[in-house]
């Protein structure tokens, strides 16, 4: 009888102990963060950051610079203080984005005149700069007229092509005569300049005077200052430099604004 009376209290106590155990183990093994992660969060795969913009593609600045760094001319010039100074020159960095300037660097007429002191002196003349600006505007208009005429010829029917071609040749001849006349007028307006008198019979100079691209640059004081720069003068006599500026890869790098990058790369060759 006594054992029977105790059986129900024992069962009740065992049930209480079992419930307490479940509560204890439930709190100790389930971390709140883990619980939240399992219910309210999901794992998200994040791919590595795409740096494809840093990878050079043909024609991009990194590729153009990398190609130049491998050239023998650049490697030899990189140790030249004048070359490093020129690449780091703000006027050069600004002008080198201009197609006319880059083409002029490779122009044989300009290369032959770059170290001519009469030519350098003329570029410094404010009077020459003003007249060059006016002349470049006139020649630029003539060039546009020629381009418009060529476009019109292309638009004509085949039956009219022959006649229009002859007309185009006549227009080109007239434009060339006007350019010659404009160049002569510019020289005559500067007859008092002693430097002009020293250059008037120079074939390379007369060739440049018929170029609207050169005249636009000549009207820019920054261009005149750069040409007289000691580093530029030194490099103009350097065959490695004149060879480098004629390379299309170097020209492309300059046009893409990579002069500063080339300057930094040159320092690593010291």
pLDDT digits (tens, 9 = 90+) for 96-141: 999 999 999 999 999 999 999 999 999 999 989 998 888 887 444 4
Q: Of 82, 14, 64, which is closest to residue 256 (Cα–Cα)?
A: 64
Q: Which residue has the higher pLDDT, 187 or 206?
A: 206
Q: CB within 8 A of 195, min separation 6: which ones?
A: 118, 119, 121, 122, 125
Domain contains 126: yes
Q: Using a pLDDT cut of 70, give the percent of the chain over it.
A: 56
Query: Of 9-13, 22-26, 132-136, which gets the smallest average pLDDT?
Result: 22-26
Region 179-184 average pLDDT: 58
Domain contains 224: yes
Contact 222, 95 (CB under 8 A): yes
Domain contains 31: no
Q: What one-character-per-residue DSSP string does 2-55 give?
A: HHHHHHHHHHHHHHHHHHHHHHHHHHHH--HHHHHHHHH------PPP--GGGS
- Domain extent at residue 137: 118-148+187-228
Domain contains 19: no
Domain contains 124: yes
Q: Which two tokens stand for residue 127?
A: 């009077």
Contact 88, 263 (CB under 8 A): yes
pLDDT digits (tens, 9 = 90+) for 140-167: 444 444 444 445 445 555 556 555 666 6
Domain contains 210: yes
Q: How many domains does the chain have?
A: 1
Domain contains 20: no
Domain contains 156: no
Q: What is the pLDDT of residue 221?
A: 95
pTM over 0.95: no
Q: Of 5, 220, 218, 254, which is closest to residue 106 (Cα–Cα)?
A: 254
Region 224-245 average pLDDT: 96
């Amino acid at each position: 009888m006594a054992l029977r009376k105790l059986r129900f209290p024992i069962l009740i106590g065992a049930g209480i102990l079992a419930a307490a155990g479940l509560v204890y183990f439930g709190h100790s093994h389930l971390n709140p963060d883990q619980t939240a992660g399992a219910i309210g969060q999901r794992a998200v795969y994040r791919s590595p950051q795409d740096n494809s913009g840093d990878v050079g593609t043909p024609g991009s600045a990194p590729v153009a610079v990398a190609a130049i760094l491998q050239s023998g001319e650049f490697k030899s010039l990189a140790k030249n203080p004048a070359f490093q100074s020129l690449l780091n020159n703000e006027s050069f960095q600004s002008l080198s984005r201009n197609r006319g300037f880059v083409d002029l660097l490779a122009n044989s007429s300009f290369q032959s005149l770059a170290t001519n002191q009469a030519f350098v002196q003329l570029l410094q003349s404010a009077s020459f700069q003003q007249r060059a600006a006016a002349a470049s505007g006139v020649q630029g208009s003539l060039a546009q007229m020629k381009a418009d005429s060529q476009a019109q010829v292309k638009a004509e029917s085949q039956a009219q092509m022959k006649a229009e071609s002859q007309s185009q040749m006549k227009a080109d001849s007239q434009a060339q005569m006007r350019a010659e006349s404009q160049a002569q007028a510019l020289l005559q307006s500067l007859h008092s300049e002693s430097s002009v008198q020293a250059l008037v019979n120079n074939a390379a100079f007369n060739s440049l005077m018929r170029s609207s691209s050169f005249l636009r640059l000549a009207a820019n004081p920054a261009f005149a200052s750069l040409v007289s720069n000691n580093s530029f003068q030194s490099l103009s006599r350097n065959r490695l430099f004149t060879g480098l500026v004629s390379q299309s890869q170097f020209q492309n790098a300059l046009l893409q604004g990579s002069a500063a990058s080339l300057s930094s790369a040159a320092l690593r060759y010291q």
